[in-house]
Amino acid sequence: MPDISGLYLTVHGRVQGVYFRAFVESEAEALGLAGYARNLPDGRSVEVYAEGDREALQKLLVKCRQGPPGARVERVEEEWKETSLGMGSFEIRY
């Protein structure tokens, strides 16, 4: 039985305007995760929430620490949560 969790991330650095949200969406979908990614108003960070299998979430965390080409991730704040799998898919929010 999979270990289902939720993972909330705030990714700081040069992560806006470099396709970071699309990168996260692609990685999350490949891992079978649901959730969202959105730019934060500070212009230097992206909020990511994903839920699903904990092992898949760990893999997404590693990808978010790297980012896509063109991004420069300076730091990632992470918070693990219990979840009820309320999200149906992964989306980019505006």
Q: Which residues of 38-57 are buried (b: 16+ CB within 10 A; e: fewer)?
A: ebeeeeebbbbbbbbeeebb
Gap between the terminal Cα atoms of the chain: 34
Residue 7 Cα distances to 37, 53, 72, 90, angstroms: 12, 10, 21, 13
| Annotated catalytic residue within 21, 44, 54, 75 | 21
| Annotated catalytic residue within 14, 39, 72, 93 | 39
The first and second tokens of residue 64, run together, are 């978010």
44 is catalytic: no
75 is catalytic: no
Query: Which residues are marked as active site?
Result: 21, 39
